[in-house]
Structure 1
Amino acid sequence: MQVIQLHHPYRPDDIIDESIVLALGFFDGVHLGHQAVIQRAQQEAQLRGIKLAVMTFNQHPKIIYSNIDSQSVKYLSTTDRKLELFEGLGVDVTYLIDYTLDFGMQSPQSFVDEYIVGLKAEVVVAGFDYTYGKKDIANMQTLEGHAKGRFDIIEISELTMHEHKVGSTSIKDLLTHGNLEEANQQLGYIYQTSGYVVPGDQRGRDMGYPTANVKTNPQELLPSIGVYSVEIHVDGQWHQGMASIGYNVTFEGIRDLRCEVNIFDFDRDIYGQQVQIRWHHYLRPEIKFASAEALIEQLQQDEVDSRHFFTEPNY
């Protein structure tokens, strides 16, 4: 997949000089609704014998429009993860736009002229709720007027699951309330975060449950506080394990939120290594135990429950 970064105003020689089908969206999470947009665009590209391109942004538009701190925004997928998911869906070209104030303050007509017609789109495919230009003034209902017959438009209807709209906001709400299974259903894959392993207190090792203390990417949304059955990617291989997100409340002291993973059947030094975590199954909330012995007993049960989960046919 070719990735082309564009900064407004872009130069004509920055873009590919051929017709495309263009899928539009921010695509945070690349969930089932987004996948429906991209898959429909792919069908159209194959029908016409041209490339499938996706346009997305390097940051959420609300950072510009609402003047909020970019560090406070949590994503379901970083740019790198998003590109990985696009490639898995067969996208040929991704236009990654720097969402600057100048870009965001374009008129809707200018956006269509420069970033749809200018990118040589024969067809645009987008979800029913796609908006463009300045906030809340241009949408799929206004696109035909701005298109002026220069490209075809395909609108993808709302996708629902369990009588609720599949969407990034819904998935974030599910993750922050511990409903991991339904979040994964709406994503269409197992939710994944990234980070690197840093030294911890070594308390888990003393209890017989050594953990990788993962400093997570601050841009990625972590699931709610609790204990989970997970997989962790280390040294090019996925390993099963169990993870805790919490504050180590059983022990004294004020602590920052931590993400710790006990990797099953694993005994290697991985400090400093990049890892990815797949969040499969919510086991229980964080609990303050009366003693280390009581915690060890619960960890033993957590391990049994996690190993059992990974033996189930549909995990």
Structure 2
Amino acid sequence: MQVIKIHHPYDPELIPEGPVVLAMGFFDGIHRGHQAVIKTARKIADEKGVPLAVLTYDHRPEIVYQQYPAGGVHYLTPLPRKLDLLEQLGVDRVYLVNLTSALSALDPQKFVDQYLVGFHTKVAVAGYDHTYGADASLANMAHLKDFAKGRFEVVTVDKMTLQDNHKVGSTRIRQLLDLGDVQSANVLLGYFYQTSGVIVHGFARGRTLGFPTANVAWPEAEWIPAIGVYVVQLKIGDCWYDGMASVGRNVTFGEHNEKTLEINLFNFNQMIYGENVQVRWIKRLRGEVKFASVDDLIAQMRLDQHHSKLTLQNLKALPGQILQ
């Protein structure tokens, strides 16, 4: 998959010749709704015998349009993960556009002329709620045919909802992760949620308790599920290992501790400090508890391990899952 970085105003020489089908969106999470947009575009591209290109952005629009949030900007799929998922979906080319104030100041007609026409778009595909400028009342899919002026076709993909009538969307997925409901988030994503990190030294308490842990320092911009105990898998190198994770502040051992991510891997005995890893979030078992004694904590961890192993033994792919 070819990735072309675009900064406004861009050099037309960067754009390969020949028509494309262009899917548009920020695509944070590459959830089932996003997948529907890209699969629709892929089908059209195959029918027309042209490449499938994606126009997406390097950071969330809030950075340009709103005050920077006090807690920082977080992502369901940081850029490397997003590009990996786009490649899994069969995208041929990604136009990775640097979203800046100068770009956002373009009126919708100029944006369409310079970007969609400039990228040699034959068919533009996006979700029903996609916008492409600061004025969402104009820069939306309802007006895109007018701005296209017959130079390319426009295909709008409808809203996707599940049985509970909730829209499949990035906002809903973030809310579910904040509640610790990774199972429901995974259903909306269409794959098991993943985060990244590096293995670092911790306090080695787990080893003294009989449950040695891999301590994962995660990138600040990644969306970590709520405090609690989870069934997880950890990817080290090319291999996935079963385990259970604690996101918490180790309240049994004192107050005001920093939040940590500690993973106990089953049947594992390797030195892995400094390894870059991926965490696959399967299921939340419980919230964090302050135990009256270390023995009570150990007893609960044994139960957590038992339930985690049962969950992983019965683990199946999500219905319709196509992404890893």
The letter of the residue matching 2:249 is: Y
Partner of 1:158: 159
Displacement of 1:191 in angstroms is 0.2
Displacement of 1:135 in angstroms is 3.9
Partner of 1:11: 11
Structure 1 residues 73 and 249: CA distance shift in structure 2, 3 A:
same
1:130 aligns with 2:125: no
Displacement of 1:69 in angstroms is 5.0
Partner of 1:275: 277
Query: What SS does the corresponding residue of 1:250 show, helix, strand or coil?
Result: helix
In 2, the alpha carbon distance for the partners of 1:93 and 1:70 equals 35
Partner of 2:251: 249
Equivalent residue for 2:177, pick from 175, 178, 182:
175
Displacement of 1:314 in angstroms is 2.8
**1:45-89 C-alpha deviation (Å, 9 max, x unpaired):** 000000000111000111101131597111110010000000000
* Number of residues of Structure 1 aligned to a counterpart in Structure 2: 315
Partner of 1:61: 61
In 2, the alpha carbon distance for the partners of 1:132 and 1:71 equals 26
Partner of 1:20: 20
The letter of the residue matching 1:284 is: R
Displacement of 1:307 in angstroms is 0.3
Runs of 4 or more above 3 Å deviation: none
**1:91-131 C-alpha deviation (Å, 9 max, x unpaired):** 00011001111111111111101110000000000000001
In 2, the alpha carbon distance for the partners of 1:205 and 1:15 equals 55
Partner of 1:304: 306
In 2, the alpha carbon distance for the partners of 1:273 and 1:121 equals 42
**1:158-202 C-alpha deviation (Å, 9 max, x unpaired):** 000121100000111111112211110000000000010111000
Query: What SS does the corresponding residue of 1:81 show, helix, strand or coil?
Result: helix
Query: What SS does the corresponding residue of 1:160 show, helix, strand or coil?
Result: coil
| Range that drifts further, 252-261 or 61-70 | 61-70
Displacement of 1:15 in angstroms is 1.3
Extract unaligned runs of 5+ from structure 2.
Answer: 318-324
Partner of 2:320: none
In 2, the alpha carbon distance for the partners of 1:18 and 1:43 equals 18
Partner of 2:238: 236
Equivalent residue for 2:205, pick from 203, 206, 226:
203
1:71–1:219: 8 Å Cα contact kept in structure 2?
no
In 2, the alpha carbon distance for the partners of 1:275 and 1:181 equals 21
> RMSD between aligned alpha carbons?
1.2
* TM-score using structure 1 length: 0.98
* TM-score using structure 2 length: 0.95
In 2, the alpha carbon distance for the partners of 1:205 and 1:24 equals 48
Partner of 1:89: 89
The letter of the residue matching 2:250 is: N
In 1, the alpha carbon distance for the partners of 2:70 and 2:186 equals 26
Partner of 2:141: 140
In 1, the alpha carbon distance for the partners of 2:74 and 2:129 equals 21
In 2, the alpha carbon distance for the partners of 1:184 and 1:125 equals 25
1:195–1:276: 8 Å Cα contact kept in structure 2?
yes
1:216 aligns with 2:218: yes
| Range that drifts further, 111-120 or 251-260 | 251-260
In 2, the alpha carbon distance for the partners of 1:296 and 1:71 equals 34
Displacement of 1:13 in angstroms is 1.0
Percent identical residues: 47
1:21–1:124: 8 Å Cα contact kept in structure 2?
yes
Query: What SS does the corresponding residue of 1:297 show, helix, strand or coil?
Result: helix
| Range that drifts further, 137-146 or 271-280 | 137-146
Displacement of 1:254 in angstroms is 2.1
Partner of 2:35: 35
In 2, the alpha carbon distance for the partners of 1:106 and 1:276 equals 39
In 2, the alpha carbon distance for the partners of 1:50 and 1:20 equals 5
1:61–1:104: 8 Å Cα contact kept in structure 2?
no
In 1, the alpha carbon distance for the partners of 2:315 and 2:7 equals 47
Structure 1 residues 272 and 44: CA distance shift in structure 2, 3 A:
same
Structure 1 residues 20 and 70: CA distance shift in structure 2, 3 A:
farther
